[in-house]
Amino acid sequence: MPRRSSGRVTLQHIAERVGVTKITVSRALREPHLVSAALRLRIESAIDELGYIPNHSAGALASGRSHSVALLIPSLSNSVFSEIQRGIEEGLSEAGYQVLIGHTGYSILEEERLIDTYLRYGVEALILPGSRHTDHARRLLTRARVPVVETLELTETPLDINVGLDQHEAGKAMTQTFLDQGYRRVGFLGARMDYRAQLRMAGWEAAMQQAGLSTERCLTTPHPSSYRLGGEMLASMLERWPDLEGIFCGNDDLAAGALFECQRRRMNVPGQLALAGFNGLDITEATSPPLATVVTPRRRIGETIATRLLARLQGAPPTPISENLGFQIRRGGSL
Amino acid sequence: MPRRSSGRVTLQHIAERVGVTKITVSRALREPHLVSAALRLRIESAIDELGYIPNHSAGALASGRSHSVALLIPSLSNSVFSEIQRGIEEGLSEAGYQVLIGHTGYSILEEERLIDTYLRYGVEALILPGSRHTDHARRLLTRARVPVVETLELTETPLDINVGLDQHEAGKAMTQTFLDQGYRRVGFLGARMDYRAQLRMAGWEAAMQQAGLSTERCLTTPHPSSYRLGGEMLASMLERWPDLEGIFCGNDDLAAGALFECQRRRMNVPGQLALAGFNGLDITEATSPPLATVVTPRRRIGETIATRLLARLQGAPPTPISENLGFQIRRGGSL
DNA sequence: ATTGCAATTGTTACCGGTAACTTCGGATCA
DNA sequence: TGATCCGAAGTTACCGGTAACAATTGCAAT
């Protein structure tokens, strides 16, 4: 006698309808070549007559495989991650993996919570934004013995697979571009100030110091970045350092916001003030003038992650590896 | 003898370590008040000594409850959905539900695939963007007897819970705002042209026709919208209809792109051309001039969904209901 | 006719939890 | 002092699949 009247159609129901045992139905679904063609057809028609929906939990429990992979992203409104996601999804879904997306909101505590949750779900791999994690998260990951990808930035000590680009180097290169163009009083504007933003800023500092220039013209905030914020912060910077010649913004949103503020003030860009952003999002090509930016190979990052992860899932040895996919400087017209 | 050497720590291991049976450990986790305080402490310390991670599949299978809800969103790079998500997540996670995010890419076929996938995962509810679904998706949803939320737009025939705003009405209202300001030759610019974009456009048509004005100045494309596209399409429209006085863009991205193109052409906005977008994203307040837009109550949509869904999950009768959360016109300075 | 083998289908046990019911010792109470 | 009740822990069966191995059948090979 059933404990619950779940009403749900199970393999057993299909099996009875067709007059076989459930293992045969299970086979017809997972290894059709092992079931005779005639029977397979009868099973298939019974399945859609009755509306059978496989129970993933039961399958995962019995087989010890979940066929799913967790992808944690910091923000649901940033095309940086959506393009990476597309590359990953494409590669993994083809290989039969379901990609479960989680949203950390740039918080490593939330990341920790999600890692825990998804390990309970039995994901076969985790893809994490960044290389900064809580201690507890590291412990969970180590114990779980599951492939882990850390992405976006590079790290000297990857947990496992690391695919990204050198954010510090990129920040330095963009700053150097300002300097090459003859700008000297170059400031830095940053928001959110997650670890990657800090690396970019450090790159700016390094380049400035190397050139013997001041790094005082720097304004940052922990608030999430936005177009509005870019404008407001630019205003503050101009007030504080009226002699600014150029500003390297930690991302494209801030740079665009800063550009709008310049337009509002009828300041010529780059004549009176040069601007640059980071990431190479669509907007940098649309503004007038187009924004200088660091173009990051997001799509390729996603694809590379998929490739490397599949290799690991298919048994490649767990050798920590760091892959640097580089970046490109685009001067746009704002620098 | 174990079939697999999973290596994973289970309830049984904890139980043996502590010297009780697994059901007691299970209780200590789910209903701590039923276990004596002393024992509970010993269990807890065994759990983190051994690094126990509950197996969600096993729990879900045994209890028939997954404590998870699927949220499908069309785009991972659009703050429209990220704000809705935040509202939903907040309400549901507090009540112990895990929100699983899926990405449809605006495709109802992909939506169908995801509905199927998440029903296999045993989600206890589904939140879908829009009211358009494939026939098969409808069949799946009906058979699954699971609460369903359709959001963003309103529908006369909700599957279950429907929370959103009248996109047609909003399109009409924005167009009427153009007319109220004396603009007559008002065009429409749309991309992607998913169902909501079509509704907005229909609203534009209705308002124009009602005013006895021409609806010929209309350019749409199935391509995804972007800032660049907004600029390019504006250029096409100006070439084709040089007498345009205003353009209602199907979303804020297009409107911003169009504005940038006007700036490039040194066209005065709104003097020579008035512009408006849709959604009220951050960028509309940052540009110069700020963009006119239809402000949609995204956060409230998310919160309302959470509230209504929780009520249903806690046993409220499955009465189809449609809740209209309205919108606001903001004239910015571009209209 | 016997053997061998491949193609099909079935049997059995088990994955790791939880529901429902049972047991047991002690406190409460008439 | 026996009946009753309550808190705390245990027993048993089962959720819905899948792994591993066994059984059956038909046919080719010996």
Does A129 lie in the same domain as A175? no
Does B102 lie in the same domain as B210? no
Inter-chain CB pairs, A–B, below 8 Å: 140
How far apart, in whole angstroms, are the C-alpha atoms of residue A309 and residue B335? 51
Three-state DSSP class for A279? strand
B107 touches chain A (CB under 8 A): no
The low-confidence residues of chain A, meaning pLDDT below 70, are 1-6
Does A109 lie in the same domain as A148? yes
Alpha carbon of B292 to those of B178, B235, B250, B269, B298: distances in Å? Answer: 10, 20, 12, 11, 17
Assess whether B50 (CB) lies less than 7 A from strand C: no
How far apart, in whole angstroms, are the C-alpha atoms of residue B256 and residue B262? 10
Residue among A53, A73, A227 minimizing CB distance to B119: A53
Residue of B138, B267, B287, B334 to mutate for A, most A C-beta atoms under 10 A? B287
Closest CA to A58 of A1, A10, A119: A10
What was the pLDDT predicted at A8? 87
Residue B332 lies inside a defined structural domain of this protein: no
Residue among B79, B101, B257 minimizing CB distance to A101: B101
Number of domains in chain B: 3
Residue B238 lies inside a defined structural domain of this protein: yes
| A8 CA: nearest nucleotide by C1' | D16
Do B264 and A285 contact (CB within 8 A), yes or no? no
Does B42 lie in the same domain as B76? no
Do B166 and B131 contact (CB within 8 A), yes or no? no
Tell me if B101 and A288 make a contact (CB, 8 A cut-off): no
Three-state DSSP class for A36? coil
B299 touches chain A (CB under 8 A): no
Tell me if A101 and B98 make a contact (CB, 8 A cut-off): no
Q: What residues contact A316, with CB distance under 8 A and at least 6 apart? A: none
Residue B251 lies inside a defined structural domain of this protein: yes
B33 touches chain A (CB under 8 A): no
Assess whether B184 (CB) lies less than 7 A from strand C: no
Q: Chain A closest CA to B255's CA: distance in Å?
A: 12
Tell me if B79 and A81 make a contact (CB, 8 A cut-off): no
Does B173 lie in the same domain as B107? no
Q: Chain A closest CA to B171's CA: distance in Å?
A: 24
| A38 CA: nearest nucleotide by C1' | C8
Q: How far apart are the first and last CA of chain B?
A: 76
Give the sign of the dihedral formed by CA B175, CA B282, CA B126, CA A29.
positive
> What is the pairing mode between strands A328-330 and A293-295?
antiparallel
The low-confidence residues of chain B, meaning pLDDT below 50, are 1-5
What was the pLDDT predicted at B247? 98
Residue among A57, A98, A287 minimizing CB distance to B122: A57
Q: Chain A closest CA to B212's CA: distance in Å?
A: 35
- Chain D bases near protein CB atoms (7 A cut-off): 7-12, 14-20
Residue A30 lies inside a defined structural domain of this protein: yes
Residue B161 lies inside a defined structural domain of this protein: yes
Does A49 lie in the same domain as A27? yes
A226 touches chain B (CB under 8 A): yes
What was the pLDDT predicted at A6? 54
In this structure, which amino acid lies at residue A193? M
Q: Chain B closest CA to A159's CA: distance in Å?
A: 19
Does B239 lie in the same domain as B124? no
Residue B23 lies inside a defined structural domain of this protein: yes
Tell me if A121 and B57 make a contact (CB, 8 A cut-off): yes
CATH of the domain at B305: 3.40.50.2300
Question: What DSSP element (H or E) covers B295?
Answer: strand B293-295
Does A248 lie in the same domain as A146? no
Does A188 lie in the same domain as A266? yes
How far apart, in whole angstroms, are the C-alpha atoms of residue A302 and residue A86? 7
Which residue shows structure tokens 């610019």?
Answer: B189
Q: DSSP for B83-94?
A: HHHHHHHHHHHH
Assess whether A61 (CB) lies less than 7 A from strand C: yes
B288 touches chain A (CB under 8 A): yes
What was the pLDDT predicted at A315? 87
Does B182 lie in the same domain as B285? yes
Three-state DSSP class for B170? helix
A103 touches chain B (CB under 8 A): yes
What was the pLDDT predicted at B4? 43
Tell me if B227 and A285 make a contact (CB, 8 A cut-off): yes
A230 touches chain B (CB under 8 A): yes
Residue B61 lies inside a defined structural domain of this protein: no
Assess whether B2 (CB) lies less than 7 A from strand C: yes
Strand segments (E) across A148-241: 148-153, 161-165, 186-190, 218-220
Domain carrying residue A289? 167-295
Do A269 and A275 contact (CB within 8 A), yes or no? yes
DSSP state of A291: P
Q: Across-strand partners of A315?
A: none
Does B83 lie in the same domain as B32? no
Residue A35 lies inside a defined structural domain of this protein: yes
Ranges of H-type helices in B31-97? 37-50, 56-63, 79-94
Does A181 lie in the same domain as A261? yes
Q: What residues contact A225, with CB distance under 8 A and at least 6 apart? A: A191, A192, A250, A251, A253, A254
What was the pLDDT predicted at B6? 53
Instruction: Determine the residue of chain A that is closest to B265 in CA distance.
Output: A288
> What is the pairing mode between strands B98-103 and B218-221?
unpaired
Phi then psi dihedrals of residue A4, to 5 deg:
-125, 150
What was the pLDDT predicted at A7? 72
CATH of the domain at A41: 1.10.260
How far apart, in whole angstroms, are the C-alpha atoms of residue A73 and residue A128? 7
